[in-house]
Amino acid sequence: MKRSATAIWNGSIKEGAGKITTQSTTLNNTQYSFKSRFEEGVGTNPEELIAAAHAGCFAMALSLILGEAGFIPKSLEANATITMDTEKLQLTSSHIVLKANIPGISQEKFEECTKNAKAGCPISKVLNLDISLDASLI
């Protein structure tokens, strides 16, 4: 399996702008810029896309692990926050907050499954940063 995306950038770093298109066209000429990345401009940015990928991947990995353990989640709400050291231009952490509704699961089994999902999610494996998790059953 291969997935792709295209980024086009025009102009200088601060005054320029770009557009991102994904293979699925879910993002289709979606704008990004210095302002959307480092300030509060309109558009997306690479860190937001990494956060979305991490949250989605984690939720899917957890669903797989739960299914293998005999549980079907009613809902898994994962929110990932990517932190960047803007002085070093280095991503430093991803923090996932999970709210899960999983009928019949014990706290111990829940913690085991979330730990395995955090470690086993393909996006977690590719990120070279600290990954933390706050998981709660609702």
In the prediction, which pLDDT does 40 show? 86
Alpha helices in 23-127 (DSSP H): 34-38, 46-68, 107-120, 122-126
Q: Could you give the strand order of the β-sheet that contains 75-85, starting from the edge strand earlier in sequence? A: 75-85, 90-101, 130-137
Model pTM score: 0.93
Instruction: Report pLDDT for 79.
Output: 98
Spatial separation of the C-alpha atoms in residues 56 and 62, rounded to whole Å: 10
Burial of 32 (0-12, 13-18, 19+ CB in 10 A): buried
Give dist(CA 116, CA 134) in Å, integer. Answer: 14
**pLDDT at position 50:** 96
Per-residue tokens: 135 = 């998981």
CA 27 – CA 21 distance, rounded (Å): 5
Mean pLDDT of the chain: 96
Q: What is the pLDDT of residue 41?
A: 86
